[in-house]
Structure 1
């Protein structure tokens, strides 16, 4: 399918400020809630939607303390389900999907205002060691070359594009890869060089080399056609 003309979306490029809703899926993120809340208040988002997927660590109770203008939803577990549920409540034309352990760059709206379809940010880790800087560099390079993004990079897209691809595919893993592939068939992504800062906890707990090899294996297996349900049985989702 040919790349679509952005004018067909009915979006005025470079004229109006894009208003945006930010959607954050949560599962057992009690330790993150205070810092996440502070960040979301400062983010400049026009709407904040938090979607809990059945936390058992006190997250649900802490969500009762977030600002009144935040929307708090509850859904079945699974990032795809949670993000889709949040999107149904979003009222603004740009949707931003942020992981609970990630932080948007300052003035993120600069990239959002330039976006006419979909995009993602570059990534950096909260561990600024040489090894983690190298990993971040190659993640960003791979994403820029392939046009495929991961959830850690804070995917953003217009409501029209989200609806056009049917939202996130409801699968236990690789929902970010799959929706990127679907959107890429229609529109070239905006690869913003602004950086999302995300947690390095998975890499720290399991080791850099081991984690890199496992991520490569998962991606390769998925590319070869192994189902996300099968991959999930072996996936270690550190929180």
Structure 2
């Protein structure tokens, strides 16, 4: 049961080596770089990963990595995330039970009380509503991933959309193990402000708002995704990072 770990990157020199090291035991680690100017690709190669290039856009980068992967199982890891030491045995055990895919619980570092609340909320969201984000290290059987067409070209919510479609192929499991992610996305604008914005965007997504509107809310003002990202004329349910 060979597992390919796929890491999309863009200027992740500060994090990429640790992310790759955490994937110890993987059949291969593929870093899909979108034109980093900080030496991310060189660090990734020195750390033992295979590096390929793709246009910016997390969904498209992950699709490119999946197409290049040799393993029968794909695990998508964010560049600022670390897999737990038990990741390989836990993923294999889940797959032996017949699941089509799954994800890990979330741990945020460095920790503080406000981030502990966010961890708890993410756990409730995943357990009660079955909604997981890409920073929870999604894993999936490659044949199922290809069967659903991979990630759609959405500027946001590409991971939630993908999981929804995967569940139509079989059972999806939330593991007890935790993937550790950097607190940087919450630090940038404040934990509660960021979380509130993400709740608004998720609610809009579930209500069926078009991707372009979600993108504008996430980035503020009249921001629009670059050409070619939206699908079906900009309609669709389009993800904040947690």
How far off is 1:148 after superposition? 2.2
1:168 aligns with 2:147: no
Residues 131-163 of structure 1, C-alpha deviation per residue, up to 9 Å, x if partnerless? 211211110121122222110100000012101
Distance 1:50 1:105 in 2: 19
Residues 66-100 of structure 1, C-alpha deviation per residue, up to 9 Å, x if partnerless? 43xx2210001101100000001111111100000
Question: Conserved in 2, the CA contact under 8 Å of 1:94 and 1:112?
Answer: no
Q: Identify which of 81, 85, 93 aligns with 2:72.
A: 93
C-alpha distance 20-152 of structure 1, shift in aligned 2 (>3 A): same
Distance 1:201 1:127 in 2: 9
Question: Conserved in 1, the CA contact under 8 Å of 2:44 and 2:50?
Answer: no
Distance 2:25 2:117 in 1: 30
TM-score of the superposition, structure 1-length normalised? 0.84
Distance 1:99 1:61 in 2: 18
Distance 1:139 1:208 in 2: 13
Question: Conserved in 2, the CA contact under 8 Å of 1:119 and 1:155?
Answer: yes
RMSD: 1.8
User: How many positions carry a matched residue from both structures?
Assistant: 217
Residues 182-221 of structure 1, C-alpha deviation per residue, up to 9 Å, x if partnerless? 1123323111010000011111221121111100011111
Question: Conserved in 2, the CA contact under 8 Å of 1:20 and 1:94?
Answer: yes
Question: Conserved in 2, the CA contact under 8 Å of 1:147 and 1:184?
Answer: no
Distance 1:82 1:39 in 2: 20
> Deviation above 4 Å: which 4+ runs of structure 1?
none
Q: Identify which of 88, 105, 110 aligns with 2:84.
A: 105
